[in-house]
Amino acid sequence: MINRRTLLKRLSALPLVGTIVGSGIPVQSVLANSPSIPARDLIKELGLRTFINAAGTYTAMTASLMPEEVMETIQASSKEFIMLDEVQDRVGEKIAAICHAEAATVTAGCWSAMVLGLAGVLTGKDKDKIAQLPNLKGMKSEVIVQKSHNVAYVHSLTNTGVTLVPVETVEELENAINEKTAMLWFLNYQAPYGKIQHEEWVALGKKHNIPTMIDMAADVPPVENLWKFNDMGFDLVCISGGKAMKGPQSAGILMGRKDIIEAARLSAPPRGNTIGRGMKVNKEEILGMYVALELYVKKDHEKEWKSWEQKISLIEQMAKKVDGVTTSVSVPPIANHTPFLKIAWDPAVINLNRTQMQEKLRMDNPSIEVISNGDHEISCTVWMLRPNEEKIVAKRIQEELIAAKV
């Protein structure tokens, strides 16, 4: 972290430098304990833009900020060695208990939960098969999905070598099932667009003795979703840890049937000759994920929802004061289930397009990120704001709307 030259320069600035060096006390320990060494500000040093996140838990925007308790867990555990499998074992038991699952494991995000979960289904505990993936010789090789669920995230599945078989109706699904069918995959946020709903999907899996998996990456709140799909009978449930749960951005959870989770872990680090070796989660993230989940489950969700509504309302009221502005508030029923405020304006009254608005908010200090939609509107959410940032967002949006009045 600190290079040798900087180290020496800083050391020579310490009044007791001679004595300390002469005494043989390691330089590092002096530096680490010295209050006179200012903390390094890498954001400044690298000229990185930070911003107020009024957009949401977008991966590109680094999704969410970890609470203090999560960071303390990461800090404290970073000072000790622990066997990676032992951390996973203990944390897995705890997470499984919280989420009503037989077993659970922390993965490198929801995406790797899906790769590993499917790998577990395909290989079982067969060491040769595990080493062989993504070559599926001698294994099942098809995953059935609904056409409307067949979106970008299925790449996590095809990573294992499987072929997707898209279907629309129950009849098509039952006709598509054959000796090569490994799994039935369900994408929670696309549920309203599919002909087959959760319970029926699970029932079809049980009827044909084929494991079912659900991707519910961004689908808390509501908090109950953490156990709902385990209770419903999905064999595997995958979720992101770094979105609304505010765990490490690179963490997620795979939970469900014990035998499959055990098999999935055989494809995960520390084991090397595996498809999942690049999906490492360190002990700090594993423990951080656990603490984030606990905090998330315990928090007062009603109170938090009210505070979101208040913040949205403040931004809305300020924007609405400007002539030519219309606003509306909506809540997506599944995924990113939090109030969204849409602010639209009449371009005949306010001469601004959405890109100009976004840039003005982005280039100012503090920089603000919002969501862009139609030509003359933006949207924002407030769940990723730090205390009082809603006031800045409200003020800045209003200022730019007023400034662009014709």
Ligand X SMILES: *Cc1c(COP(=O)(O)O)cnc(C)c1O
| Residues near ligand X, by CB under 6 A | 59, 109-111, 153, 189, 215, 217-218, 240, 252
CB of 249 to ligand X, least distance (A): 8
Q: Any idea what the Cα angle at residue 85 is, between residues 83 and 86, rounded to 5°? A: 65
Q: Which is nearer to ligand X, 110 or 382 (CB)?
A: 110
Q: Which is nearer to ligand X, 281 or 378 (CB)?
A: 281
Measured over the CA atoms of residue 240, residue 246, residue 247 and residue 251, the dihedral's sign is positive
CB of 351 to ligand X, least distance (A): 36
Q: How far apart (Å, rounded) are the C-alpha atoms in residues 252 and 248?
A: 8
My answer on whether omega of the bond before 221 falls inside 30° of 0, hence cis, is: yes
Mind giving me the DSSP string for 299-349?
S-HHHHHHHHHHHHHHHHHHHHTSTTEEEEEE--SSSS-S-EEEEEE-TTT
Q: Which is nearer to ligand X, 215 or 235 (CB)?
A: 215
Q: How far apart (Å, rounded) are the C-alpha atoms in residues 237 and 216?
A: 7
Q: Which is nearer to ligand X, 61 or 83 (CB)?
A: 61
CB of 34 to ligand X, least distance (A): 39
CB of 266 to ligand X, least distance (A): 20
CB of 335 to ligand X, least distance (A): 6
DSSP one-letter code for 274: S
CB of 137 to ligand X, least distance (A): 28
Q: Which two tokens stand for residue 15?
A: 């009044």
Which residues face 378 on adjacent strands? 343, 372
CB of 189 to ligand X, least distance (A): 6
DSSP one-letter code for 81: -
Q: Which is nearer to ligand X, 239 or 393 (CB)?
A: 239
Q: Which two tokens stand for residue 402?
A: 């007023």
Q: How far apart (Å, rounded) are the C-alpha atoms in residues 338 and 153?
A: 22
For the purposes of burial, counting CB atoms within 10 Å of the CB of 199, is it exposed (0-12), middle (13-18) or buried (19 or more)? exposed
- Residues contacting 347, CB < 8 A, separation 6+: 353, 375, 376
Nearest residue (beta carbon) to ligand X: 109
CB of 192 to ligand X, least distance (A): 14
- Residues contacting 349, CB < 8 A, separation 6+: 323, 324, 405, 406
CB of 217 to ligand X, least distance (A): 3
Q: Which is nearer to ligand X, 189 or 308 (CB)?
A: 189
Give the CA dihedral 240, 250, 91, 85, nearest 10 degrees: 130
Give per-residue burial for 65-98: e unless 16+ CB within 10 Å, then b: ebbeebeebbeebeeeeeebeebbeebbeebbeb
Q: Which is nearer to ligand X, 284 or 316 (CB)?
A: 284
CB of 301 to ligand X, least distance (A): 20
Q: Which is nearer to ligand X, 265 or 396 (CB)?
A: 265
Chain centre distance of CA 6? 37
Q: Which is nearer to ligand X, 256 or 325 (CB)?
A: 256
Q: Which is nearer to ligand X, 194 or 252 (CB)?
A: 252
